[in-house]
Chain A
Amino acid sequence: MVLPPFALHRPTTTAQALSLLAEDSVPYSGGTELLLAMRMGLIRPTALVDLKRIPEMQEIRTDRSRLLIGAGVSHDRLATDPLVEQHARLLAAAEREVGNARVRAQGSIGGNICFGEPRSDVATVLIALEAELGLANSAGERSVPAEEFFLGPYWTARDATELLTAISIPLPCAEGVYLKFQTVERPTVAVAAVRRPGGDYRVVVGAVGEVPVWADYPGVGEVDPVDLVGRTSPVSDLTGSERYKRHVTEVYIRRAAELLAESER
């Protein structure tokens, strides 16, 4: 199968990149989502704006009380980077399980988020870690909490002329478990259960519905799987009917909460 035609831009600064973005001139990094969608004819941009030559998009650093991750950083780097392992172990753990080794080497965290694929491992974890997503356009910058970024399947808070520049995770970082039920390439249900720095708990349920849902609890014993499942909107597909997905989600929320409780003992 061949790709449709497109022009390729290779800016070296964020400002250059921003000047090139338009409705049909789209950001491009690893291509693991974009190129597939183009080949299947789902989208047909006239131009790709390659972000891989912008140095700051590739940075991982800490800045005062935050871990800053450039949007172009690959899954594999996040899975193995010492800074990430030190400050955001849960993210590193989830990144180790994204796709397969090639997707991890090729794909970027920013691309994963901005594509708005509902079955994203990363989205679930970033909400658990209360990450902030830095968006820039030619007029300026804004920061959107991960909780507010995912609006629907393949639909995020990013405007077509905006660029996701960095992911910012507050430190100290929440710690916990990431558990997923997966039978094909992407998770059917993903659950992140964490103890937040303030001492309370958050459980995020991703992949199973159109967007992740979450709830906060004062104690891990108070996690209510049935209530949380009620907030999801599972869609029947080949990996399971709505009924089955609700059931498995409940099982996985319970298992994640148990694992978290166990890890604290």
Chain B
Amino acid sequence: MSVERRRVAGQAVQRRDLFEKVTGAATYTVDVTPPGCLHAKVVRSSRAHARILGIETSAALAVPGVIAVVTASDLAALFPRFGHIIPDHAILAMEKVRYYGEPVALVVAENIVAASDGAEAVQVRYEDLPAAMDAEAALAPDAPILHDDDYGASGDESFSEMAATPGLPDHGDSPPRTNVAHTVDLSWGDVDAALAQAHIVVENRVHYPMLYAYAMEPYNAVASFTEDSLHVVSSAQHPFMVRTDLARIFSLPLSRVRVQVPYLGGGYGSKSYTKIEPLAAVGAWVVRQPVKLVLDVEEAIYTTRADSAAITVRSGFDAEGRILARAFDIVLDSGAYADNSPLVLAKAVNRCFGPYRVPNLRVRGRSVYTNTSPASSYRGFGAPQGALAGETNLDRAAAQLGIDPVEIRRRNLVPPGGEILPGKRGIDADLPADLELVAESLQRDARTVPGHGIGVACTASDAGAYPISTAIVRVQTDGSVTVLSGSTEMGQGSRSVLAQLVAEELGVPIEAVDVVQSDTAMSSYERTTGASRTTTLVGLAVQRACADARAKLTEMAAEIEQCPPESLAQGDGVLESADGRKLAFGDIISRWFGGDAGEVTGVGTLRRDGRTQKMPPFWEVGMVGVEVGIDPETGVVRVDQLVTVADVGFAFNPKAVEGQDLGAATQGLGGALFEELVYDGPQLVNPNMVEYRVPRMTDLADKIESIVVERGDGVGPYGAKGGGEGALNPMGAAVANAVAMATGKWPSRLPLTPERVWRLVNDLPEVDAE
């Protein structure tokens, strides 16, 4: 099935934002410095878990240029915490610190040099508390408890809808407190009975590493108060979510909090929800001048990382390799504060068992507080963790049954329209066909030599987040169009895609369309920018806004032409009268208002109804294959082939889709082969880009193929659905499977560093006994 080629949508148009970005003119938050701006530096905890006995600020205040040192005691008049699911996150540590790197004080100074010198001069006295540095320690019976309060946690309706069966921990009246921040369970059928009857039962346990997204622009924010309004410029993916947190902190109406987001230097989920905006804002609130807070990479790592996971999976199969039952136990190490980890957990639970027919299922998920950097969203969102367990488990079964790994997937994948989660939207993709594309490509170039192996893996993610979106299109008297959207341009190319869509819908040249985004005071409302939703969901809202504008233009034209609206035909940038005259949009507006002025505003909204009633709004496909070559002496893994399928329904901009797909695949390879944050004692050993090793240019696979598949089967405009995470999700599993084929041994832990592979090959323990 193919899709219709269109005039603008579906063409590889040049992204206009790229012109600004190649000249250095593009503005990012770090480039914003308002007049009279002061600069802030955060004083951070040097302990993993400790009571704060005192904060000595006089030496810092004596540093020339230092204006103020803000601590938690200055925030008594405010709601001093944030967190969209569990408001557990202190802006500045209160009474105790829960992880190394936690903000304890904020030094505000005339310049960054003075702020840094001042921060060094702040002395904090601590009394150490026992720390729980990993999930196992945090779940132990006598574990130190991180949080003594449940903060009145309540997921809102949208959160509940995205988790299949959410459960904030219910501690009853007299809570026996634990470090479990959140639990999610999901089950159907009778797993135990099915396993008892299975031809084989395959069990394995995997560890997914603690990752850092490394958006190259770390977290930055500039805050100022004017009158009683707060203005924050920030590197946030979700300005409207940040606005909600800020309004609660300062007890301000939403309308008096303006969050503005310029270009983002990468996000990948790591800039979702509130991060450092409250810090900058309380600084500005105290000194009543604009305050700029710029983090470095180490501080960014200690602001947000991705959840690591330990997962046990047990699956039963019949003799033909058909899945009879699957059981998963998932433990996420979520760090010291919940942030978005409850939702990451919910998604890990929904996604771990794969896009297969699973007649009996039981998943138990726990998100656990530990005395480490807080974990939250990261591209893939629970899917990569779950897939490592589920997809290596499937390959183990295939090996035991003597079935090819591609064949076992063929026998289990849900068909188009098939159900993955009961009561949810059926799969809007042809996964079996996608699988064949990957398998064919890999086979074409496969090398059957020792030390080489092929691995495939599949995922389908319940993506799109919650369908709440609005858009405004403003048609001008010259026929050009301004589009307002609250969706953030963070590199993915939404600015360009939305312009293409408007150009297509209104029939105007793309050069005549300008898109203004992500300003809670000036753009339209958008719930979030994440979960691959923009093209699909914002696209629908924009499409409706265009239709609304056309309807208004038709009414106006009918009035000035004194004809029935139905007699006007819709054309490209024009309406056509019954007698064949073309009425340009701009002329209609000028004539209707008179005086060569005015504009027409089209409004589009999207909520959970109609085509977006069923959750999820769409499924995001992850279908990848790799071939690796291994140096048996050193364990070095080299990627020979990288094959991905971008099953996006309709590719608004095929080159942009490929770029997102390859980018996601490459980040996935990073987590598969190189990346891991490592704690040793209270702090990270490698909170820097020298020792946290990400993919580089010489790591490029010899053969890279990104197959863009368009079947028009998405809910979005022209059959589009989301992309951009898919290729990351199964990548770790695919690499593990390829390494297993190459070595004959089953890896259980990523990343597959040379030493890990060498130990695997030589049957050595993961670590040597002391």
Of B43-51, B94-102, B365-373, B751-759, the one contacting chain A is: B751-759
- Cβ-defined contact, A181 with B634, below 8 A: yes
Give which listed residue, B296, B674, B755, contacts A240 with CB less than 8 A. B755
Q: Which residues of B contact A248 (CB under 8 A)?
A: 634, 754
- Cβ-defined contact, B691 with A241, below 8 A: no
For the complex, is A243 an interface residue (Cβ under 8 Å from B)? yes
CB neighbors of B among A168-193 (8 A) = 181, 183-185
CB neighbors of A among B91-130 (8 A) = 112-113, 116-117
**Given the contacts A185-B690, A238-B678, A2 and B112 also touching, CB distance less than 8 Å:** yes
Per-residue contact bits, chain B 736-770, to A (CB 8 Å; 1 contact, 0 not) = 00000000000000000111001100001001100
Q: Which residues of A contact B690 (CB under 8 A)?
A: 184-185
For the complex, is B578 an interface residue (Cβ under 8 Å from A)? no
For the complex, is B582 an interface residue (Cβ under 8 Å from A)? no
Q: Which residues of A contact B691 (CB under 8 A)?
A: 184, 238
Which residue on chain A has the smallest CB distance to residue B294?
A1
Give which listed residue, B296, B634, B685, B759, contacts A238 with CB less than 8 A. B685
Question: Smallest CB–CB gap between A207 and chain B, Å?
Answer: 15
For the complex, is A142 an interface residue (Cβ under 8 Å from B)? no
Question: Smallest CB–CB gap between B220 and chain A, Å?
Answer: 14
Give which listed residue, B113, B685, B758, contacts A244 with CB less than 8 A. B758
Question: Smallest CB–CB gap between B46 and chain A, Å?
Answer: 12
- Cβ-defined contact, A1 with B116, below 8 A: yes
CB neighbors of A among B464-513 (8 A) = none
Give which listed residue, B296, B633, B693, B767, contacts A183 with CB less than 8 A. B693
CB neighbors of A among B632-663 (8 A) = 633-634, 636
- Cβ-defined contact, B113 with A251, below 8 A: no
For the complex, is A61 an interface residue (Cβ under 8 Å from B)? no
Which residue on chain B has the smallest CB distance to residue A100?
B696
Complex CA distance for A2 and B119, rounded to whole angstroms: 12
Which residue on chain A has the smallest CB distance to residue B764?
A243
For the complex, is B686 an interface residue (Cβ under 8 Å from A)? yes
Per-residue contact bits, chain A 233-263, to B (CB 8 Å; 1 contact, 0 not) = 0000010111110011001000000000000
**Given the contacts A2-B112, A238-B686, A183 and B678 also touching, CB distance less than 8 Å:** no
Q: Which residues of B contact A240 (CB under 8 A)?
A: 754-755
Per-residue contact bits, chain A 1-39, to B (CB 8 Å; 1 contact, 0 not) = 110000000000000000000000000000000000000
Which residue on chain B has the smallest CB distance to residue A181?
B634
Give which listed residue, A185, A241, A251, contacts B634 with CB less than 8 A. A251
Question: Smallest CB–CB gap between B321 and chain A, Å?
Answer: 37
Q: Which residues of A contact B767 (CB under 8 A)?
A: 241
**Given the contacts A184-B691, A238-B691, A247 and B112 also touching, CB distance less than 8 Å:** no
Which residue on chain B has the smallest CB distance to residue A1?
B296
Complex CA distance for A183 and B636, rounded to whole angstroms: 9
Complex CA distance for A242 and B759, rounded to whole angstroms: 13
Q: Which residues of A contact B678 (CB under 8 A)?
A: 238
Complex CA distance for A247 and B685, rounded to whole angstroms: 24
**Given the contacts A1-B296, A185-B690, A238-B686, A244 and B116 also touching, CB distance less than 8 Å:** no
Q: Which residues of B contact A242 (CB under 8 A)?
A: 768
Question: Smallest CB–CB gap between B123 and chain A, Å?
Answer: 16
Q: Which residues of A contact B764 (CB under 8 A)?
A: 243
- Cβ-defined contact, B753 with A2, below 8 A: no
Complex CA distance for A181 and B758, rounded to whole angstroms: 14
Question: Smallest CB–CB gap between A115 and chain B, Å?
Answer: 15
Q: Which residues of B contact A241 (CB under 8 A)?
A: 755, 767-768
- Cβ-defined contact, B693 with A244, below 8 A: no
Q: Which residues of A contact B113 (CB under 8 A)?
A: 2
Q: Which residues of B contact A185 (CB under 8 A)?
A: 690
- Cβ-defined contact, B754 with A183, below 8 A: yes
Q: Which residues of A contact B117 (CB under 8 A)?
A: 2
**Given the contacts A184-B690, A238-B678, A238-B686, A244 and B633 also touching, CB distance less than 8 Å:** no
Per-residue contact bits, chain B 654-676, to A (CB 8 Å; 1 contact, 0 not) = 00000000000000000000100
Q: Which residues of B contact A181 (CB under 8 A)?
A: 634
Q: Which residues of B contact A184 (CB under 8 A)?
A: 690-691, 693
- Cβ-defined contact, B633 with A251, below 8 A: yes
Question: Smallest CB–CB gap between B391 and chain A, Å?
Answer: 26
Which residue on chain B has the smallest CB distance to residue A39?
B296
Q: Which residues of A contact B112 (CB under 8 A)?
A: 2
Complex CA distance for A125 and B376, rounded to whole angstroms: 46
CB neighbors of B among A199-251 (8 A) = 238, 240-244, 247-248, 251
Which residue on chain A has the smallest CB distance to residue B686?
A238
Complex CA distance for A243 and B770, rounded to whole angstroms: 12
Most buried by A among B634, B690, B691: B634
Question: Smallest CB–CB gap between A22 and chain B, Å?
Answer: 24
Which residue on chain B has the smallest CB distance to residue A248?
B634
Complex CA distance for A136 and B199, rounded to whole angstroms: 79
Complex CA distance for A242 and B768, rounded to whole angstroms: 9
Q: Which residues of B contact A244 (CB under 8 A)?
A: 754-755, 758-759
Which residue on chain A has the smallest CB distance to residue B685?
A238
Q: Which residues of B contact A247 (CB under 8 A)?
A: 758
Per-residue contact bits, chain A 99-139, to B (CB 8 Å; 1 contact, 0 not) = 00000000000000000000000000000000000000000
CB neighbors of A among B37-74 (8 A) = none
**Given the contacts A2-B112, A2-B113, A243 and B768 also touching, CB distance less than 8 Å:** yes
Complex CA distance for A248 and B759, rounded to whole angstroms: 12
Which residue on chain B has the smallest CB distance to residue A36?
B690
Complex CA distance for A134 and B693, rounded to whole angstroms: 37
Complex CA distance for A128 and B112, rounded to whole angstroms: 46
Question: Smallest CB–CB gap between B39 and chain A, Å?
Answer: 10
Q: Which residues of A contact B633 (CB under 8 A)?
A: 251
Question: Smallest CB–CB gap between A265 and chain B, Å?
Answer: 22
**Given the contacts A1-B116, A2-B113, A238-B691, A183 and B758 also touching, CB distance less than 8 Å:** no
Per-residue contact bits, chain A 135-156, to B (CB 8 Å; 1 contact, 0 not) = 0000000000000000000000
Complex CA distance for A185 and B693, rounded to whole angstroms: 9
Question: Smallest CB–CB gap between A106 and chain B, Å?
Answer: 16
Q: Which residues of A contact B636 (CB under 8 A)?
A: 183
Q: Which residues of B contact A238 (CB under 8 A)?
A: 678, 685-686, 691
- Closest CB pairs A-B (n = 6): A244-B755, A2-B116, A251-B633, A240-B755, A185-B690, A1-B296
Can you identify 20 A-B contacts, CB atoms within 8 angstroms? A2-B112, A2-B116, A183-B674, A183-B693, A184-B690, A184-B691, A238-B685, A238-B686, A238-B691, A240-B754, A240-B755, A241-B755, A241-B767, A241-B768, A244-B755, A244-B759, A247-B758, A248-B634, A248-B754, A251-B633
B residues within 8 Å of A by Cβ?
Answer: 112-113, 116-117, 296, 633-634, 636, 674, 678, 685-686, 690-691, 693, 753-755, 758-759, 764, 767-768
